[in-house]
Amino acid sequence: MKKVGSVVISIILCLGLLAACGSGNSGTSGGSGGASSDAAAGDSAYSTIKEGTLMVGIEIGYPPMEYFDEDGKTPIGFDVEMATALAEDMGLELELIDTAWDGIFAGVDTDKYDVVISSVSWTEDRNDKMLLSKTYIANAPVLVVPNDSEIADIQDLAGKSVAVQMETTADYLVQEYVTGGLDTEVKQFDKVINAFDELKAGRTDAVCTDSVVAAFYLGDDAANYKTVWEAEEKEPICMAFKKGNDGIKTAVEASLDNIKASGKLAEIANKYFGTDSVINVD
């Protein structure tokens, strides 16, 4: 385990249904019936699945929000450092459970972790199914193309191809346009980095993804690409809890307010985005 301040981060690489994630706990398993935690955040008591620990579901593969450092083992990124700061403010240890995106919400719903902190876009559909927090990052789907591309709008994808990470809001958005009559080939990938690899190799005409990750993925090749379109409907980023777990949500949001007021959140934003303007959302 790696010590970060007073917060211990352990990574569990989840290949099945995270069956081992709740083993050995001194508290009672279950998002609403776990061990009571008397943390500084929030005025009321709340429960965590594992006593003294904030268990966070995360898909580590979405720079600059959550990804592995050069050693391929150490998790870094905006969401990782924010989760660390939240747990520290709450007086809890932090356990990150790395899992595939297409099963991440089922994990929180079945008490594999207390919260999902992994670039979750706030949408009405997700809010109906889960308990979503206040938003903490401004965000919107964007379209990235090579500099010499004639694509200037999402409608210009007609007769062309676009790469997306499957089961993301960018994927859903493009699919809506296809349903509405847009004749474009949608290439779906498990990881967004694969979508950008496809773009860099010239095997797709565009990538649709979140604005907060678009520039980062281009890296040293950023000068060769441009963002040509941004969705009118914004999709700010939030955290996701199991329905009914209002106590832990209130506590985590209180800590979010604390790290924002202290300037810690701005410090993390500047580190990964070069600006703190992206966190100016309610």
DSSP strand pairing (46-48 vs 53-58): unpaired
Q: What is the dihedral of CA 75, 104, 24, 36, to 10 degrees?
A: 100
pLDDT computed for residue 278 by the predictor: 87
Residue with tokens 């040509």: 228
Amino acid in the structure at residue 60: I
CA 79 vs CA 129, 133, 148, 222: distances in Å: 22, 14, 34, 23
Q: Domains of the chain: which residue ranges?
A: 2-138+237-275, 141-230
Q: Counting every residue, how long is the chain?
A: 282
Instruction: Evaluate the omega torsion of the peptide bond into residue 64 and state whether it is cis, within 30 degrees of 0.
Output: yes
State residue 282's pLDDT score.
Answer: 63
Amino acid type, 164 = V
pLDDT for res 13: 42
How many CA within 13 A on the CB side of residue 71?
Answer: 4
pLDDT beneath 70: ranges in the chain: 1-44, 215, 219, 282
Q: Which residues contact 28 (CB under 8 A, 6 or more apart)?
A: 34, 35
In angstroms, rounded to a whole number, what is the distance separating the alpha carbons of residues 166 and 187? 9
Topology alike, domains 2-138+237-275 and 141-230: yes
The CATH H-level superfamily of 141-230 is Periplasmic binding protein-like II (3.40.190.10)
What angle is formed at CA 213 by the lines to CA 120 and CA 113, rounded to 5 degrees? 30
Which of these, 45, 82, 101, lies nearest to 264 by C-alpha position? 82
Tokens standing for residue 170: 């960018």
Q: Is the dihedral of CA 208, 170, 100, 78 positive or negative?
A: positive
Backbone dihedral angles phi then psi of residue 224, each to the nearest 5 degrees: -95, 0
Pairing of strands 53-58, 93-98: parallel
Burial class (CB in 10 A: 0-12, 13-18, 19+), 100: middle
pLDDT at position 216 is: 76
Is the peptide bond preceding residue 236 cis, with omega within 30 degrees of 0?
no
Which positions ≥6 away from 88 have C-beta within 8 Å?
5, 6, 7, 94
The architecture CATH gives domain 2-138+237-275: 3-Layer(aba) Sandwich (3.40)
